[in-house]
Amino acid sequence: MNLEEKLKEIFGYDNFRKGQKQIIEQVLSKQDTLGILPTGAGKSICYQLPAVIQSGVTLVISPLISLMKDQVDQLNVAGIPATFINSTIDDFESNFRMQQVENGAIKLLFVAPERFGLDYFNHFLQHLPIDLVAIDEAHCISQWGHDFRPSYVEFAQHLQDLPTQPTILALTATATPKVTEDIQNLLSITPYNTVKTGFLRKNLRFEVVKGVDKRTFLKNYLKNREKGESGIIYASTRKEVEEICEWLNRNNFKANRYHAGLSENERKTNQEQFIYDEIPIMVATNAFGMGINKSNVRFVIHYSIPATIESYYQEAGRAGRDGLESDAILLFSPNDVRIRNFLIERSEGDDSHKEHEYEKLRQMQAYTSSETCLQRYILEYFGDEGQACGKCSNCLDEREDVDITVETQKVLSCVIRMGERFGKTAVAQVLVGSKNKNLAKWNFEKLSTFGIMKNFSQKAVGELIDFLAAEGFLSVTAGKFPTLIVSNRGAKVLKGQEKVHRRATLIAEKTVIHSET
Ligand code: ADP
């Protein structure tokens, strides 16, 4: 069978994109497969084409109930019989759809993983000729993923009960090496049958903006864009969405809003106006974007720090799906991290879950403190190798490269002298010789490193510590109260085997300059 011809015939596309053909060939030859392809790469075709070619039914497992209808509608428009069963339809309709599937009138059936816990549904599956089970957003199965869902693990256990032993195809856009391993183990997929196309998005230009007035930045940025260019501004709360959207409109930038607190009707209208280029700017919470397929988004601006690198890359990745140059900008303010910490503290979930969330946030924050190429930082996070992109805000940073080996040694030796049991604030306080009462009981003033950086402000030393952690000279333990530990790389600096450079000049802010008389 010529797969290219089938692709053209059914979907009208001339060529496969990277990874698609290999995945489809593996699936058709009954090999359980994991596909890791970036957002927008075309994961859906990987199960849709086999579903049409094969004689039986394909089950598609997805956590995104709200998107199922759109996905099914799109398939039906393309002449592919598909349906979904979920909590949005009543029992009568659901029975009718199950009958349709049993009669062989449906090729793709979309369901949420929770359905597999229901007896009647498992019973129904027993009679079906299921060829393929496609698992969308497969990272949800892993505790190390950014969106762990226990229902995915339970569902994986039910897979073994299916009588037809269908082929398994797990798909995700965001998998760190740990998450990849988890998916492979829980679904018994070999590394050999894992297809990964790499996370690089060449046409994205990443930028981290610090220490600015965010609204002034936005105004200037938007003024300099072509009129009518599409972009998304992500804010962290509904309230913030409302405020920014209103402010933009007051300043003559046409913007719409999107968050879970709006009526379904308004969300739909706003989304459509954005997709059809009627209103170019969308201000939204992270509720916006999943399954939205708009190719000409020219910029994605994060008004405050997202919770994880996974969600950041997924959201930023909504820019430039058409392959044209696009911006991914993060406006950073330390206060936003405090808000995120607060949200984690207040969230449901046990301590180990929270610890995990703190760790994810810390890695996200390290992205903003790092001075290496931003694209490369993200690629390495996902276990890919990358070269400097040459166009992100770090690659283009022209400030002078300063040798800060001596300052680094001071910080690292202080961390060691404090027993590697304290966090950033305490270490910075000791280095600047703070008189803070909380420190008194530890007798730190007896340490040789007490006040060794007294010419610097505590804030500057704190930023230096963030930088050293982001670049891997210090390790940071997970949890609510992270402590600093000198890493192997840091130990080399202490031994004089490695030098440290930083572009931001560390200014001895408290140096007293005597005027000449
Ligand atoms: P993902 O799920 O990986 O984010 P989708 O499956 O939604 O991506 O596909 C993104 C877009 O790319 C869709 O509009 C899809 O129709 C299109 N697409 C997928 N495969 C191809 C292809 N081989 N050629 C052209 N367009 C494609």
pLDDT per residue over 370-390, tens digit each?
999 999 999 999 988 888 999
Q: Which residue's CA lies nearest to atom 27 of ligand 1?
A: 42
Give the closest residue to 165 by CA, choosing from 225, 213, 125: 125
Ligand 1 center from residue 20 Cα (angstroms): 10
Which atom belonging to ligand 1 lies closest to the Cα atom of 7?
23
What CA–CA distance (Å, rounded) separates 307 from 483?
20
Contact 267, 337 (CB under 8 A): no
* pLDDT higher than 60, residue 297: yes
Contact 145, 308 (CB under 8 A): no
What CA–CA distance (Å, rounded) separates 43 from 36?
9
Which atom belonging to ligand 1 lies closest to the Cα atom of 173?
3
Return mean pLDDT, the chain.
91
Ligand 1 center from residue 321 Cα (angstroms): 10
* pLDDT higher than 50, residue 156: yes
3-state DSSP assignment of residue 394:
coil
What CA–CA distance (Å, rounded) separates 416 from 413?
5
* pLDDT higher than 60, residue 516: no
Tokens coding 156:
């994986």
Range 189-211 average pLDDT: 93
What percent of the chain is predicted at pLDDT more than 90? 69
Ligand 1 center from residue 290 Cα (angstroms): 14
Predicted ipTM > 0.85: yes
Q: Write down the pTM of the prediction.
A: 0.81
Element housing 281 (H / E):
strand 281-284
- How high is the pLDDT of residue 244? 97
* pLDDT higher than 60, residue 178: yes
What CA–CA distance (Å, rounded) separates 162 from 195?
25
Tokens coding 438:
């909380």
Tokens coding 243:
């405020």
* pLDDT higher than 90, residue 291: no
Ligand 1 site, CB within 6 A: 13, 15-17, 20, 37, 39-45, 293
- How high is the pLDDT of residue 144? 85
Tokens coding 161:
């009960």
Range 470-480 average pLDDT: 84
Ligand 1 center from residue 13 Cα (angstroms): 10
127 HSE (CA, 13 A, CB side): 11
Which atom belonging to ligand 1 lies closest to the Cα atom of 291?
7
- How high is the pLDDT of residue 511? 42
- How high is the pLDDT of residue 514? 38
Q: Which residue's CA lies nearest to atom 17 of ligand 1?
A: 42
Ligand 1 center from residue 345 Cα (angstroms): 38
Q: Which residue's CA lies nearest to atom 2 of ligand 1?
A: 43
